[in-house]
Structure 1
């Protein structure tokens, strides 16, 4: 294989994201015996190889010839560590673009928050990512790579993945589903430990339901009525709250999986007792869980985080309506790695 051929194939023919069968076929096409497909598979997904040169069980001469063949790995452009040990990564992709991933450790598990796009087209008013505009969708291998990079840096197996980084996963559904399947089947992360988040795009939740994945679907509401949602989420003007909730009900019926609802609390905007009561009416009939997320500040807007007593009062209203609720104080706040703060910038 010539260097020119390798370069021509670099966009669509990276190895990360391929199944064992696909890797076996590829390795045979390169003149190697079929059993080396399993070796390649193990080195990609279990050992985190970044180059074919790394795979010491392969013949040295062949490795040297194939050294420039792209596996699909990024490079760490910047890394910071918050006081709570959350790690924020800026990763440089093959085309030079930068995305962000976050590693969130606890005593029992390691969660990775992955990006699904470079930037975000949704432009939610309280979120830093959308302020920088949208560039492109990520490929499945660029999503998988984020998990492997964090796993390698922590020297610890990743147990959970949340698609809550840069971008709107449902706007890149095909690649997100491919990444989910590979993270489950190839990297070995349980399907129920994979969470795909969305602010809502018409028809996409129903489309996701058809895959019948055993993942967690998290829907970002952030408002208890249509007018308020339009104020916070521009795309809500074309996709009403009622239609979004109807699609969520269809999802539950098709998959048998409950929907988790995310709600960022903004002081004096959507955290009032009447907002909580409205939210209980919205979620009537759902067997669900609500994550309340106190706002994480960004420089472009002047929203404020509610005081603790207001957060507790909001949660109490939901609990009294028999809605399961938890307050998620985001990790990595000091490193601008918390929910709503990702912008692929060191500043």
Structure 2
């Protein structure tokens, strides 16, 4: 039985990856410090013989006993609300955490896949974004703590690949959605659905003409799984190329939820990208992958999940004290 370590395992994508690897017959070790992850995402796996959970911060030394075949590094805050609250921890998990896990991969002779992001393209001047595009990122802006952490992750990963011969994979994840997203994490879909369920008007920033491309979590996990097991070691975009404006998407949410809310407009945050659409030619050619789930179907499943949550989750705001995580 092959063994896989999944960091950020209690998070949205990480927990779905745990499910997938359990289904595929792996021994799964999930690791998370639970800053932004939720242990409830993994509780259904605790009774399984071939599942383990380690409560650990990967910016500190990481030790795993015995053999290890694969590492998937998904430990990182992913929403603007989170990484603006814990900017230093965001940088540390991208730098120190990635360094620790690459060292572990080298020690164990394991293949490692790191979770990069479409945010490395910044506010793109090329559309749609191909893997060859270097990006347009403000290194010292508020979003730079996340964007540059991910860009460094890619750089050090390729350094370990070239210098130490570590088997590495890099996935550039575009907007992904589905069950287990945090309702109040600030990302577009949970923000809109949360507002609709609370009877609040939907907040759109700017004129709402900025675009996003939303990929359902099952499709995203399938692409990541195929990339890990492929022989391709360069970055690959995994996302849904079907683009929609934020304003049009807000109108879709109002229709989906059957609510009567209005759309209200607020100033656009600094460095918010105006366009986000993946070119997935490489994923199609190399992995034989493209998304299958239509947005209408995926959004229906996601909405049903959010409706099923306890009412406390609907109104809960994150009051956690993050101060200790920002200490150097």
Larger RCO: Structure 1 or Structure 2 (Cα < 8 Å, ≥ 6 residues apart)? 2
Q: How high is the TM-score relative to the length of structure 1?
A: 0.34
TM-score under structure 2 length normalisation:
0.35
